[in-house]
Amino acid sequence: MADDQYVIYGSEYSPFSVKVRSYFRYKGVPHEWRPRTQENYADFQAHAKLPLIPLVLCPDGTALQDSTPILEKMESLFPATPITPDSPETAFVSALLEEYGDEWGNKPMFHYRWWREADQLAVSKGVAAGLMPSASDKEKEAFAAQFRERMVPRLSFVGSSEQNKDLIERTFDDYLDLLNRHLQSRSYLFGGRPSLGDFGLFCQLYGCTQQPTTAIMIEEKPNIAAWIDRMLEPDADGEWQSWEEVSGTLLPLLLSQVAGLYFPWALANARALKEERPTFTATLKGSEFTQDTMKYTGRSLQALKNRFSAIENRQPLEEVLLAAECLKPLVSEDW
């Protein structure tokens, strides 16, 4: 292995791993994509603090986990062609979209992955093929069946349930409509370059292309399908756009998805964490949405708030966030 080479332990079926791989490709960081398999599981485990992918092994032997801090760290080491849009307004909205993608955008991906039989079968087969490339077909089939059995009951962890199904599916349709419209006249969310927000949103939708039910939905949105393809090997083809240039179609998406879903959900989760309640219910677009309390989402919401508080001369950004109905949740503790 070359001295400057990074290794990404991941899986084609792990959106967060694909997010990191696309980032490394865009930045031209020398790396090896190493699908985590049964054979290399012990090597992965020797470096992993958490049993999660992606894991990036640096040339100096240190290991990085968690896609957002990985991208932040790599941005500091490889500052050319930054993924941060060039105004404070668009830069923050990009970070906000990444947070939405990681924490809420993951829900429809995971829900559709394990809700219907056709999707369960397609994904468990694909995961087995990736995890045990040299096993026989019979062994792969047995593993896929076991894996499927293990994953389906986990749906409830991310809030996929009979109660929440309609809201998740209905709002996913809205999301695809709004995103498809936004991508009609630009290559990436903020113009001619991929941003942090692009990496966060795209990877969950790439996961959706691996599941028959959502693959069809994405095929019907040609601008999204083309953007997902582009994001697998991103390349800048123009400059950043200003907030004024993107707001016409990005504001409706922020209102519907970030103000309408992510924030009320994440704040209800934060309140439950504070009060040490194991589950919580948020009212989202008029529906009651109940799920288990999530520690990670509490921490990433706090990181987003800290990022906001650290911005000097915030007035233009505050106006943008006010219009997007996203200001109050960032400044008020008990909104």
Ligand X SMILES: N[C@@H](CCC(=O)N[C@@H](CS)C(=O)NCC(=O)O)C(=O)O
Nearer CB in complex with ligand X: 200/329: 200
Nearest Cα neighbor of 116 from 157, 148, 142, 150 is: 148
The residue (of 243 and 262) whose beta carbon lies closer to ligand X is 262
User: What totals of helices (H) and strands (E) does the chain contain, helices first?
Assistant: 16, 6
Strand pairing partners for 284? 287
Q: Is 269 in the site for ligand X (CB under 6 A)?
A: no
Q: Kindly state the tokens that stand for 193.
A: 């370059």
Shortest distance in whole angstroms from residue 69 CB to ligand X: 8
Q: Does 124 bind ligand X (CB under 6 A)?
A: no
CA angle 17, 18, 20 (to 5 degrees): 65
Specify the stretch interacting with ligand X by CB under 6 A; choose among 62-70, 234-242, 259-267, 275-283: 62-70
User: Which residue, 122, 128, 127, 113, is CA-closest to 214?
Assistant: 113
Q: Does 210 bind ligand X (CB under 6 A)?
A: no
**What is the distance between the alpha carbons of residues 96 and 149, in angstroms, rounded to a whole number?**
34
Per rule CB under 6 A, is residue 52 in the interface with ligand X? yes
Regarding 159 and contact with ligand X (CB under 6 A), the answer is: no
User: Which residue stretch of 14-22, 27-35, 84-92, 322-330 sits at the interface with ligand X (rule: CB under 6 A)?
Assistant: 14-22
Binding ligand X by CB under 6 A: which of 6, 7, 8, 15?
Answer: 15
From residue 228 to residue 267, the character string flagging contacts with ligand X as x (rule: CB under 6 A) and all else as - is: ----------------------------------------
Pick from 7, 14, 186, 187 the residue near ligand X by CB under 6 A: 14
In whole angstroms, give the CA distance from residue 286 to residue 288: 7
Residue 96, CB half-sphere, CA atoms under 13 Å: how many? 28
Q: Site map for ligand X, 65-104, x if CB under 6 A?
A: -xxx---------------------------------x--
- Residue 222 lies near ligand X (rule: CB under 6 A): no
CB of 16 to ligand X, least distance (A): 4
CB nearer to ligand X: give 68 or 87: 68
Residue 59 DSSP label = T
Long-range contacts of 235-239 (CB under 8 A, 24+ apart): 235/26, 236/81, 236/192, 236/193, 236/194, 237/187, 237/192, 238/187, 238/191, 238/192, 238/193, 239/191, 239/192, 239/193
Chain residues in the site for ligand X (CB under 6 A): 14-16, 51-54, 66-68, 102
